[in-house]
Structure formats: C-alpha cells, structure tokens
C-alpha cells in the first residue's frame, strides 16, 4: 500500500503583503478565499475573493493575514503556490498549480 502525502498550498510573502494592503485600505480584516469550481474553458476554474473563514476551511496565516481554502477545493490545490503578480496586463493573485495538466490563457481556468 502506497501512502501519498499531499501538502497544503503555499502562500508567498508577496501575496500576504498585498492582502494586508487591501485590508488596510478597506478598513476590514477579510481572509482571501481560494476555491476551485467546475466550469471555465478548461473544466475547472479558480474563485479568488475576500471572505470570512468557515469551520471547514484550512487557514494559512502570514503577516497577520489569512488565506482560506475549503475542504472540497483543498485536494485540487495540493502543493500549489498562491502568489500576487503585477504585470503590464494587470495585477492579480495567481496560482501555480502542479496538479493542473493544462491551463487557459486567462489564468483562472485549468484541467486535471
């Protein structure tokens, strides 16, 4: 019997720092929710938004901020890296997901 260990997603310091800036500007202390939903042009899509943690969430903490992942999305995000990117096309939270076999140019849709 082989036991496969899946690691939770990692959140970069840059992503935690940007979340801190967003919360400071809004005057609230929301968590960044990262979820996986069916749909998108490749089969699955990421849902990234500010939210309140719930009981079944995995909470990743850093720099006084929280990133939460629900229990259903967690297997899809094993070993993924949640980051924040500023490019010419815009600034956004990004996910580098080693579980995705392909992804779409939009950066929010993927397949496994």
Residue 5 counted as domain residue: no
Return the residue matching tokens 């019997």: 1
Q: State how far the Cα of 81 lies from the Cα of 58, in Å rounded to an integer.
A: 15
pLDDT digit string (tens) for 88-101? 878 899 999 887 76
Q: State how far the Cα of 99 lies from the Cα of 6, in Å rounded to an integer.
A: 11
Closest CA to 67 of 23, 5, 100, 107: 23
Residue 97 counted as domain residue: yes
Quickly state the pLDDT bin for 18 (edges 50, 70, 90). very high
Return the residue matching tokens 């979340």: 19
What is the residue-averaged pLDDT of the chain? 86
The model's pTM is: 0.83
Residue 80 counted as domain residue: yes
Residue 71 belongs to domain with CATH number: 2.60.300.12
**Residue 39: predicted pLDDT:** 73
Q: How does strand 65-69 pair with strand 31-38?
A: parallel
Q: Residue 10: is its pLDDT beyond 70?
A: yes
- Give the total number of structural domains in the chain: 1
Residue 32 counted as domain residue: yes
pLDDT digit string (tens) for 28-83? 999 999 999 887 666 788 899 999 999 999 999 999 999 999 999 999 999 999 99
Residue 67 counted as domain residue: yes
């Amino acid at each position: 019997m082989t036991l496969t260990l899946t690691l939770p997603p990692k959140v970069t310091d840059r992503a935690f720092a940007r979340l801190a800036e967003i919360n400071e500007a809004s005057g609230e202390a929301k968590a960044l929710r990262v979820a996986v939903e069916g749909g998108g042009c490749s089969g699955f899509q990421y849902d990234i938004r500010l939210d309140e943690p719930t009981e079944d969430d995995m909470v990743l903490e850093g720099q006084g901020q929280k990133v939460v992942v629900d229990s259903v999305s967690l297997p899809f995000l094993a070993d993924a890296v949640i980051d924040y990117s500023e490019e010419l096309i815009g600034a956004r939270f990004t996910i580098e997901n080693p579980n995705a076999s392909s992804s779409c140019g939009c950066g929010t849709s993927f397949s496994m």
